[in-house]
């Protein structure tokens, strides 16, 4: 499947470019900018790269049987997987696409790509979520943040891996304005709760703690 560059939607009257506070102080290091990043203050270029990453992850998920089996095991039907924009990083598609079409530097600044660690060798840039099921936080239908999890229980140094910077509340947009909210822990909780909400629409439940 070919991936075209996704469009970016802006609300009427919004600024064309929202600058990160750290950038107003000069030229911070990539690490400092990542640590200080707020995901509700993305530039148009950053949002385009995140949209592209989300599209590539979604496409890769349906080509990876192991990742799909993991989501099925977690009780998530295909319609929930699609509605929530879940994906999978194959470790090569994003870097290859951005190398061809542009955006490598922005992706590295966002934390989607990283420099290889000592002894890794190979490509100059590695994909942060390589081999992981990827869960986006969607705002206005567009991903503003990602977190990844390995689709099996093998021992890994980091089981859950998110983008650096301030972590948004997953599922916030769906919960905003509702009188009662289902709360749960885990990176797949918002997707599972959406499934429950559709299965039991007449029995809202408030979970404390």
Assess if residue 79 is contained within a domain: yes
Q: Do the domain assignments include residue 83?
A: yes
In a domain, 173, yes or no: no
pLDDT, residue 33, reads 63
In a domain, residue 197? The reply is no
In angstroms, the CA 24 to CA 137 distance is 26
Residue 70 belongs to a domain: yes
Asked if residue 100 is part of any domain, the answer here is: yes
What's the CATH code of the domain at 103? 3.90.980.10
- Give the pair of three-digit tokens for residue 82: 């699609």
Structure confidence at residue 200 (pLDDT): 38
Q: Domain count of the chain?
A: 1
User: Is residue 174 a part of any domain in this protein?
Assistant: no
Question: Is this prediction's pTM over 0.75?
Answer: no
| pLDDT (0 to 100) of residue 148 | 95
Range of the domain at 145: 28-167
Of residues 76, 73, 56, 50, the one with CA closest to residue 189: 76
Q: Report the pLDDT value the prediction gives residue 87, as an integer from 0 to 100.
A: 98
Encoded tokens for 159: 């089981």
Side-chain half-sphere of 35: how many Cα atoms within 13 Å? 5
HSE-up of 195 (CA within 13 Å, CB side)? 17
- Tell me the C-alpha distance between 89 and 134, whole Å: 7
Task: Determine contact, residues 164/129, Cβ cutoff 8 Å.
Answer: no
Q: Can you give the pLDDT at residue 17? A: 38
CA distance 185 to 85: 19
Give residue 159's pLDDT: 84
pLDDT by residue, tens only, the chain of 209 residues = 555 555 555 444 343 333 343 344 444 556 666 667 788 889 999 999 999 999 999 999 999 999 999 999 999 999 999 999 999 999 999 999 999 999 999 999 999 999 887 766 666 899 999 999 999 999 999 999 999 999 876 767 788 899 998 888 777 777 777 676 666 555 555 554 454 344 434 444 343 43
Is 175 a member of any domain? no
128: nearest Cα among 98, 102, 153: 98
């Amino acid at each position: 499947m070919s991936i075209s560059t996704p469009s970016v939607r802006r609300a009427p009257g919004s600024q064309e470019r929202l600058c990160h506070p750290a950038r107003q102080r000069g030229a911070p290091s990539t690490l400092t900018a990542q640590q200080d990043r707020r995901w509700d203050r993305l530039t148009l270029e950053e949002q385009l790269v995140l949209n592209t990453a989300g599209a590539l992850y979604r496409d890769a998920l349906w080509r990876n049987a192991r990742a799909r089996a993991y989501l099925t095991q977690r009780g998530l039907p295909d319609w929930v997987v699609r509605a929530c924009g879940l994906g999978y990083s194959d470790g090569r598609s994003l870097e290859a696409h951005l190398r061809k079409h542009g955006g490598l530097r922005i992706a590295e600044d966002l934390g989607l790509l990283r420099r290889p660690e000592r002894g890794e060798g190979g490509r100059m840039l590695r994909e942060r979520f390589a081999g992981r099921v990827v869960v986006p936080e969607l705002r206005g239908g567009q991903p503003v943040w990602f977190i990844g999890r390995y689709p099996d229980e093998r021992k890994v140094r980091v089981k859950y891996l998110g983008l650096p910077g301030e972590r948004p509340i997953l599922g916030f947009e769906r919960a905003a304005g509702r009188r009662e909210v289902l709360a749960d822990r885990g990176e797949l909780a918002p997707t599972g709760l959406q499934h429950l909400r559709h299965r039991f629409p007449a029995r809202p439940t408030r979970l404390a703690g």
